[in-house]
Structures are given as C-alpha cells and as structure tokens.
Structure 1
Amino acid sequence: MFDSDHISQAVAWRHDLHRHPELGFQETRTSAMIAELLTGWGWQVHRGLAQTGVVATLGAGGPVVGLRADIDALPIEEATGLDYASVHPGKMHACGHDGHTAMLLLAARQIAAEGVQNGTVRLIFQPAEENDGGARVMIEDGLFREFPCDSVFGIHNWPGLAPGRLVARDDKMMAAFAIFEITVEGKGGHAAMPEQSDGVVAAAARIAAAAQELPARRLSPLDPGVISVTQIHTGSAWNVCPDQAAIRGTARWFSPEAGDILETRLGELVQGVAASQGCRATMDYQRRYPATTNSPAQAALARRIGEEMGLELPQAEPSMASEDFAFMLNECPGAYIWLGAAREGANPGLHSALFDFNDDVLPVGAEYWVRLVRQALA
C-alpha cells in the first residue's frame, strides 16, 4: 500500500518527534509539524482545541469517522542512547505517541491521495494523554460539537503483543484511575523518647500497607481493583520523629461500584489508622479517567479489518492501566485497539526510560487506518 519512500519519510517524522518530545499542553512544535503536513496534503486543518490539539477534516456528509492519535511525551530522562534520542533533558517519548502520530500521518497522506467520496474523515491529534486528560479538555472545548463523529477509533502500540497481533475487546479495555495524596500530621519529637511524640511514621507505614491490601478485602474477586502506594515522604534526620508525612499513589478499577468502594474505604482506613496513632489525616482523592470501554459494533469492525490484513486476534484480558481515550468513547461509539509492537530481544515496556517505538509497525498501523476508513465509510 505504501512505497518505500513514504515509509522512510514516516520513520523520519517519528524520529524527529522522538528527538523533540513535548509534555502535555506544550506540544507546540509537534502540532505545527502535524498541521503543516496535513495542510500540504489538502486536509482542512483546525488548531487550538485543548491549546495544542489538531483536528483535520476531509470529505463531506455522513457517515463521519474519527481517528485519534496522542501526541504528548513523558517527564522521563531517556536512557536509550539512540542517535535520535531526546534533546530535551527530562522529557522523552516513552509510550510511543511519536509512533502513533507518524502512523496516522502516513495514513492521512494515503487517504488524501485516494480521496474521500462517501462521507467524512476526521483526524484528531490529541495533546496531554499522560495524566492531564487532554481528551476531556478537547471535548470541553467543543471537539464533538464542532466536529461531530459517528464513530471514533484509537490505536496504541502494545509491546506485550508480538507484531502481527491485534486486540479489540467488545467491552472493557483499560481501567479507570484516580490519584491520591494523604497527609498525616501529629506531634514530633526526639527519636529516643517516642512516647512523647505521635506516631506519624507508624501511621504512614500502616496506611501504606493496609491501603494496598484493601481491594482484596473489600472488592469481589470478580470485580477487579488496585491500590498502589508509590511515594512516602517524611522525616529529615536519624534522630527526629517527624510531625508530618505524605503518602501518594493511585487506584484503578472498572465498575463504578468498585470505584466508589475504593474511595470510601480508603478514606475510612486513613482516618482510623491515623487516629490509632494519635494523629490527624486528610486525603485529596482525584478521579482522573473513566474506564476505557469499547462499543461492540465498532470493536467487531476493528477485528474484521485485522482479519482481512492477516493479523492474529488473540484473546486478551483488559489492562489495569488507563487511557483518556475513555472520554471520547463516553461521547461517541468507537473502539480502542492494541497493535502488537514487541521487539526481538530486549523489549522495554511502556514508560521505560529504555523504550523506543518499533518502526516496523508503522506501515502496518497506517494500512490499518486506511482500511478502517474505507470500511467505515462504505
């Protein structure tokens, strides 16, 4: 479907994006590059949704299919040693969004060359997927009001799957998630006389341990949930009992009932443990993304295209990781798709400082997008 020159250009775009990563809502160079290329191929381009988002349209009338790629990087110090490694300290494309962008651009070029005769295609280049909910902000800024879609699709490279494999479940793909920060406060003092202090460190340690056990005791084994404590900050000296501790982490779940239980029970646990040590505690609990849930009809279409391309369709369980494409799926029928992208030999996972998108899957993903457009508009 693509000649070697076009594939080479897509790899060059990907490497350029990898070399110049930008964090959420700061993707000015990235969005400018996307807009320039799309305009040159004849797409009608709109910029500015969620600050740095780009929406491009080709065709007229219905049906209308939306294809989404995320464009932001992560606050990670790259350790790959690649000749196209990040030139921005503390920032890197460690999740493959550079590949997602290049893949959709390669498809956009082909779609423009073929023309869109029986409907409309919208390309959605979304900022700030990592933690900041760029999809939600694009929607609040009028994404589906100004650029309505009958269906919307997203692809994510998946290092846990071999190339040539694809997963599009009929229902849950990714978990909902929240972040929390718990502050424990009490009287500090000399470490040699702990009876004269409150048990701030003891309370923090017990909260951290008990919180991670909470899903197993409060949720049905058939209704998954996870609480992970990822940070504990307290103390400044060997011989001082501190007067404050901070505990941070994340919660994951699928059903709304499980989400409510985790939040409620964690709050009760925090207050009870803190009180048992003579301390006070507060909790800031923020629900960030809902569960990513596919529409069965669109998931079936996604699998059918995979079959036509000769891709394997293994059975796969949903992931407890999260994805803000969930906000788009809550507004519009669609499907989120995992595309196998494992590397031979060392195969660093997503969000690793050693991760690098597998360029071999660029033409596979781009062909998939082109075929999806043809069928969705048939």
Structure 2
Amino acid sequence: MGTETAAGNTPEWLLPLAQRNDFVFTPSPRDFTVEEIPLYEASGEGEHLLLTVRKKGLSTWELIDRLSNHLGIPRREIGYAGLKDKHALTTQRISLPAKYAPELESFEHPSVKILERELHGNKLRIGHLKGNRFRLRFKKVLGVQREKVDRVLDWIEMRGMPNYFGLQRFGNDGTNAGEGRRIVHGETKMRDRKMREFLVSAYQSRLFNDWLSRRIALSRLLEEFEEREVERIETLPTGSLAGTKAQPHFFRILPGEIMEHYPYGRIFPAEDLAAEAEKFAARDRAPTGLLPGKRIRRAEGTAALYEAPFDDERIREQGSRRYAWVWPDEIHRRYVPEKAHYELSFTLPKGSYATVLVAMLRGSFTG
C-alpha cells in the first residue's frame, strides 16, 4: 500500500499517529515492494488458471483492463484476491478461465511479467489471501530520525497497531467517501453497480476510521485518568468503563465489544472483560469495528455508545466487522549509515495498510 508523504496532507483521523518525523519516503518500485501471501496453493487441475504476476506502475484494475482487452473477455471473468498499489513493485495472483491460456501466450506489457501459471479449480475471489509482505526504504534518516523510527517500531512489535484504512482507500483527492455518502442518502445516483459499491465501501471505511480515532482517544484518556473521571469527561453513565483502566493493552476493550479470534475466526461478544483483555494482549483475539450495512452484528452496552454515532442504517450494502487492531509480523530492519537509508520489511494481515505503519513511524504514537 502507498503512503502520503507530506505531513500537511495527513487527514484529521490520522493526526494522532503522524507527528512530524522528516525522513523521505516516496513510493516507487525502487523503494517499495509488495508481495501477496497466498491463502492456498494451486491444486494443479481445474478450469481456472492462477497467474502469479509482477507489475510496476499499474494498479490491479489497470492490470485487469490490459488482460481483458488482450484476451477479449469481460473484466468480471478475471479474479483477484486484493488490490495492490500502483506506485510499487508488486507481486500478486490473478485468475482467469483456463480456456484462454493460448491467447495469454502472446500477452506482453513492459511493466508486467507473468512469473507462474498453474491450474486450479475455482476463480480467485476478494479475500483469498493471508496477507501481504512489504519492503520499504526510507531516505535521509539521520540520527534523531533513526532513533525515533526504532522507538516506534519497538512499540509496534510489542503492542501492534490500529487497523485504519489507508489514504488510498479514499481516492487521490479524498472525495470517494463523500460521494459514497451522497449515494447512500439519495443525494446523487450512480448507475454503475461496481462503482456504486466501491464508493459506498469508501464511505463505510471512513465511518470505521472515525470510530477508531474516537476509540483511540478514549484509550488515551484511560491512560491519563481514572475510570470515574473519564466517565465524567465522556458523559457516560457511572460504571460504564468499569474494568477498562487495568487492562494490559493500550487499546481498551469495552463492555459489549464484538471480538474476533485472531488472525481469523468467528466473531462473538465480549462477556468476561478481564479474560478477553488478557487474550487480546496475547494476540489470541482482537476487538472489531463496524463497517455499517445489512446483516451484521452490532456492539452492545458501552461499546454501542461509541459505535452508534458512526453507524448509518441507510446503507443497504452488506456490512461487516473489521479488526480494530492488528500485529505486523516478521519485522526486519536494517540501517545503512553511509547512505542514511533505513530498510524495513514486515507482513500484515489481509486488508491492513502499510500506510498506517509508515504514518506511525513519522510520529511519536506510543500510547
């Protein structure tokens, strides 16, 4: 995933994580690589062809457009597990009907290389991946900057990071969420079904990000004040935050929280708050936030008081829940002093953004 490089362009919901740290990171194939981690191996037989594709300077949709035009097939026949950044060197899997294999032989593009072709029994669907492996290189990382990056990385390795949607989710000009809201509220119409779903999903993502910022603000208050004091500040009923101050993790779980086993599993309500908080700190499960829509479970109790302002019952698309907090894994760092370069690699679960981790490294977010 890409990242915004100018501190002045950081949106309000990201400000707590993005205090100024002036190293240079410009997403490009030279300094930013993304490798998709497959959910499963190809079966070796079936009616679909799984392609492992390396690309640069193209978004996933642009890659699909090139393939569909060359093969003369609708874009909907081409499957993908996740969208990959345009401004990076990325490797991901694409699926298409195996009957088009002969036509694929003549496909050429200067920014695309097909690394593997394997038969499989089903079309690749959104979410059919474990996660992504990122490699980044920061420049002009001098002594103070290096110490700050190391300090925040230490914090992330121990505690994880908030699972915000990244800036690219909202479009180059940041207007996608607003367009989605206008569609939901009947202020504008969008006949293209896929574009409507895309814009509404951006609106859902904005609501989630705003909720997550609100919850991080609450956790900060609980770091500084006693539960009763925070209840008064937040105008909550007495006892609403009982059992939150003593929790071992920075991000506090609330009564009525909807939890999910980590890194995947079923959702369920938090009943024993202390036990759930311990298991959350042990990375066994994590709290979830709402992507509003139909047929999705809402939080209850105190958690519902914080969720409700970021819900929108007019959304008719399918809702879901998303981890509020995730843990980067396989973090490796290397500093090159003669060039003042800082090289970093890590993996994230599917749907999580390197944007957010980079924003944290630009600042001093340490709970």
TM-score, L = length of structure 1: 0.24
